[in-house]
Amino acid sequence: MTMTVPAPAVEVFNADYSLLDRVGWQAAVSMLMREVAYALEAHDPPQVLRSPTAAIELPKSLLLVRYAPVPYRREADHASRAEILTRDANRCQFVGCGGSATTIDHLLPRSRGGGNTWHNLVASCEACNGAKANRTPAEAGMRLVREPFRPGHL
């Protein structure tokens, strides 16, 4: 098949009309031929792919015939307990302690709106976590070894 004008990416919508992906025109034509999707919107003016035996109008968007389950994606800045302990090398992050971290601590307590984000969680030993309690480190007179950060590989 030949086409005179390079086509932009084709939007693919799930069966519930939520945007799922953007694919190249080759994948879009393949989906049409396999009948897993149908054209939702056409280009204006129409862009037609021609071969010696067929002519196919290139869609601007596709709708899947069947719903494709989408895996849950957590928030980008959300961090788990294991990720925080790994980032902080299982060491308490409060100055003067240096003990083995077995818990995580919210710098801004959750009761005050602090979340489970990379910049609000640090590894802590049980003693320091209890001493800080429901306060910020400044209110508790405690300093951090280093400011929390989001690792570059995540």
Neighbouring C-beta atoms of residue 108, cutoff 10 Å: 15
Coil, strand or helix at 83: helix
Q: Calculate the average pLDDT of the chain.
A: 89
Rounded CA-CA distance 36/38 in Å is: 7
Distance CA 29, CA 12 (A): 12
Segment 92-112 mean pLDDT: 92
Backbone angles phi, psi at 46, to 5 degrees: -60, 140
Q: Where are the domains of the chain?
A: 10-64, 81-140
- Residue 2 pLDDT > 70: no
Q: Which CATH number fits domain 81-140: 1.10.30.50, 3.40.50.2300, 3.40.50.1100, 1.20.120.1200?
A: 1.10.30.50
What is the C-alpha to C-alpha distance for residues 149 and 83, in angstroms, rounded to an integer?
Answer: 12
> Residue 74's pLDDT is what?
63
